[in-house]
Structure 1
Amino acid sequence: MASTASSRAVAGGCSTSAITTATVSGSHVLTINGYSESRAYGVGSSIASSKFLVAGHSWFLRCYPVGWNEETSDRICFFLVHDGRSSVRAQLKFSLLDLEGNQVHSAKSFCPVAFHGYRCFWFCFIKREDFENSNYLRDNSFRVVYDITVINGFYKEGTMMFVDTVPPSDLHKDLGRLLASGKGVDVKLKVRDKLFLAHKNVLAARSSVFMAELFGPLKEGEADSVEIHDMEPVVFKAMLDFIYTDNVPEVRTGEEIAMAQHLLVAADRYDLKRLKMICEHNLCSRITKKTAATTLVLAEQHGCNGLKKACFAFLSSLGSLKAVMDTQGYDHLRSSCPSLHDELVAKFDVSKRNKIRSFLCFSVK
């Protein structure tokens, strides 16, 4: 990022100075092949680009060919994700590219967008019917481009006029400090042998379940004490931090998958849709032979269609499935969700199904 500084003396012993910081712009072109196949995954399923750098910040694009929820299921949606812990403000423009590389059908942010840490900005971009009837889609592929301009303010020499964007919101930091301070807390939350103190209004504003428990007609007494069952304290602490700060806290290396699984269950239980989506995305990129079966069961039980399809895709090869069959998670899948197991097996052709059944019979013996 380029910047310059200068100063000079003027009459009367006064001096002036100026600092000018240039904006930094960059673009990323994403080619999406196999568009019709990507549609088959359904609402809420996405495909992502590789990471790229603009102005020293890491970004990536995520495309939802059938919308990211039911309300946007008739459109193609795109997310720009800032993949980092620093803060940045940027003006954004998103466009389809025609055959000659010209930007067509563009959309842009009306004002600079603030990204704090891992954040995304999305365009509910184009109706799928209009897109599929256009000439942007050729040979089952198309191209899009994101233009990103990082914006900085400056002092203009002589006028002393400060030009800058509105400062980024510190609300998440303020609420995080409020939780840490313990000031004004009015509800106790007991999780096994741990006690957490919080604020009723914050919990209720973020979670419809807490709203019902703390202010609904079925609340117990003054509802100044709530006991949380079937959840580990470390998981509840992570969920509580998210409620106040909208950030998922870091976990120790090697515990990312387990925490994402437990947090997904907690998010679904307390109607924290964004946290649930974050956990689902994290698990989609961390499917392994050891976790595929348990993650598939989790996706089925908590209505995570995108995660379920990602697990099916991982298990679609007979070799991967055989490796998973040796895990305890696979036994759990067969015993707890037999219909889901049948659905998985049905995705293979007849010869492979017979091999799977033979392998299962051999394992039982």
Structure 2
Amino acid sequence: MSSEPASFTTSTIVANTESASHTLKIDGYSRTKGLATGIHLKSCNFIAGGHSWHLAYLPNGDCAERSEYISIYLVLNGVAPGTSGGPVLAQFSISLLDRAGKPAPTYTRTATTTPYVGPGAHWGFPGFIRRDALEKSRHLNVKDDSFSVRCDLTVVTEFRAVDAASIAAEAASSPLSVPVPPPDMWRHLEHLLLSQLGADVRFRVDRVDFAAHRCVLAARSPVFQAELFGTMKEASSEAQCVVEIHDMRADVFKNLLYFIYTDALPLPEPEEPRPDPEEEALMAQHLLVAADRYGMERLKFICEDALCRHIDVSTVATTMALAEQHHCQGIKEACFQFLRSPGALNTVMATDDFDHLATSCPSLIKELISKLAAR
């Protein structure tokens, strides 16, 4: 009589996980350097795995031995209701973000699965990056004195046992995917501009020559399209022809070209001194004029936004005149808002710039009076 075959079964212990990401922007980085070593600033709270977390940013390190570093920690604020008394298990990485918002591989730090024993527990990277290394890198945006880091966090929510058949069925039903990196066309177009490879048109601005590609310019600017493929097509197609551009500074045209190719304004090189606020405001004014001249609407809005941050009693009159001339309603409203303060209005009205504004743009003064009367 034959015996029944032995029964063999298989099961696997698997970890259920939940993932989340949190980006922290340090706006006003140079001011945070005034904090003492060991003092931290907190991000907003965020939820991962049902638990509450935040990032702790220490601009001068967590102790005297690491005072030349930036320290960053992931802190557990509180556990999810109904959580057992055991530690919360989490695996995370913290990355410095580049200009495109992608993690910079050189400055990505990863922690293995780590036990958080309760609220207040923290793990992280006391030597995340040296401050001088950050300041020399292109990841610090010197124009607005900021940089960003991102925490990618995976939390174990439970362990469970499953049989092999269930795992196979789950794997078969799960769609396959491949991580897709973010767009980086701007990098290739930046290289095209800087290398001048295949350039077929040249411009002379304030005695400085620039090489460019007429198809790129035409695709981005209706004015360049009309000029390079319309009225100026034959003249600009000649090999030795140089298109003269008047009433514009060379550095303004350089920034305009960079924006046309990359959809962003260039960042200063690490060794370049940080521009002062007056220089930034002046460049924004010139670029706004250039953007309006060449039909670059997005650049025009960027310049308006930059000028809103530079409105004061010494600039508001000239900024209002510029806004009126180039039909910038947003920045004009910002100037009106600034002048709603009686102290600011009285001071500005005593300046020569305001007298010139009243003479050159009387309709703008009438609009200002109407706005102030309605407040």
TM-score, scaled relative to structure 1: 0.53
Equivalent positions of 1:165-176 (< 5 A) are 165-176=179-190
Whether 2:254 is the aligned partner of 1:237: answer: yes
Task: Provide the aligned length of Structure 1 versus Structure 2.
Answer: 223
Task: Using the TM superposition, give the Cα deviation of residue 317 of structure 1 relative to its aligned residue in structure 2, in angstroms.
Answer: 2.1
Whether 2:223 is the aligned partner of 1:209: answer: yes
Classify 1:183/1:318 alpha carbon distance in 2 versus 1 (closer, same or farther; 3 Å).
same
Q: Which amino acid aligns with 2:351?
A: T
Task: Using the TM superposition, give the Cα deviation of residue 331 of structure 1 relative to its aligned residue in structure 2, in angstroms.
Answer: 2.8
Q: Which amino acid aligns with 1:249?
A: P
Match of 1:24 among 7, 20, 24: 20
Classify 1:241/1:194 alpha carbon distance in 2 versus 1 (closer, same or farther; 3 Å).
same
Task: Using the TM superposition, give the Cα deviation of residue 348 of structure 1 relative to its aligned residue in structure 2, in angstroms.
Answer: 3.2
Equivalent positions of 1:269-348 (< 5 A) are 269-348=293-372
Whether 2:279 is the aligned partner of 1:253: answer: no
Q: Which amino acid aligns with 1:173?
A: R
Equivalent residue, structure 1, for 2:133: none
Task: Using the TM superposition, give the Cα deviation of residue 250 of structure 1 relative to its aligned residue in structure 2, in angstroms.
Answer: 3.7
Q: Contact 2:201–2:236 at 8 Å: present in 1 too? A: no
Q: Which amino acid aligns with 1:212?
A: A
TM-score, scaled relative to structure 2: 0.52
Q: Contact 1:88–1:150 at 8 Å: present in 2 too? A: no
- The CA deviation string for residues 293-326 of structure 1, in whole angstroms up to 9 with x for no partner, is 1111111111111111111010112211111124
Classify 1:345/1:226 alpha carbon distance in 2 versus 1 (closer, same or farther; 3 Å).
same
- What SS class does the counterpart of residue 262 from structure 1 fall into? helix
Q: What is the CA–CA distance in structure 2 between the aligned matches of 1:151 and 1:245, rounded to whole Å?
A: 32
**Structure 1: 5+ residue stretches without partners:** 1-20, 29-50, 59-82, 90-115, 119-147, 153-160, 353-365
Q: What is the CA–CA distance in structure 2 between the aligned matches of 1:328 and 1:233, rounded to whole Å?
A: 29
Task: Using the TM superposition, give the Cα deviation of residue 237 of structure 1 relative to its aligned residue in structure 2, in angstroms.
Answer: 0.6
Equivalent residue, structure 1, for 2:113: none
Q: What is the CA–CA distance in structure 2 between the aligned matches of 1:331 and 1:220, rounded to whole Å?
A: 47
Classify 1:233/1:222 alpha carbon distance in 2 versus 1 (closer, same or farther; 3 Å).
closer
Q: Contact 1:87–1:117 at 8 Å: present in 2 too? A: no
Equivalent residue, structure 2, for 1:190: 204
- The CA deviation string for residues 128-178 of structure 1, in whole angstroms up to 9 with x for no partner, is xxxxxxxxxxxxxxxxxxxx99699xxxxxxxx995431222211111111
Q: What is the CA–CA distance in structure 1 between the aligned matches of 2:183 and 2:329, rounded to whole Å?
A: 33
- What SS class does the counterpart of residue 227 from structure 1 fall into? strand
Q: Contact 2:203–2:243 at 8 Å: present in 1 too? A: yes
- What SS class does the counterpart of residue 341 from structure 1 fall into? helix
Equivalent residue, structure 2, for 1:38: none
Q: Which amino acid aligns with 2:282?
A: A
Q: Which amino acid aligns with 2:188?
A: D
**Structure 2: 5+ residue stretches without partners:** 1-16, 25-42, 47-53, 58-96, 104-138, 142-149, 155-174, 269-274
Q: Contact 1:23–1:149 at 8 Å: present in 2 too? A: no
Equivalent residue, structure 1, for 2:94: none
Q: What is the CA–CA distance in structure 1 between the aligned matches of 2:351 and 2:267, rounded to whole Å?
A: 28
Equivalent residue, structure 2, for 1:109: none
Q: What is the CA–CA distance in structure 2 between the aligned matches of 1:183 and 1:249, rounded to whole Å?
A: 20
- The CA deviation string for residues 183-216 of structure 1, in whole angstroms up to 9 with x for no partner, is 1111111112111111111111110000000001
- What SS class does the counterpart of residue 371 from structure 2 fall into? coil
Equivalent positions of 1:82-97 (< 5 A) are 85=99, 87-88=101-102
Q: What is the CA–CA distance in structure 1 between the aligned matches of 2:248 and 2:45, rounded to whole Å?
A: 39
Q: Which has the higher contact order (CA 8 A, sep 6+)?
A: 2
Classify 1:303/1:212 alpha carbon distance in 2 versus 1 (closer, same or farther; 3 Å).
same
Task: Using the TM superposition, give the Cα deviation of residue 180 of structure 1 relative to its aligned residue in structure 2, in angstroms.
Answer: 0.8
- What SS class does the counterpart of residue 87 from structure 1 fall into? coil
- What SS class does the counterpart of residue 303 from structure 1 fall into? coil
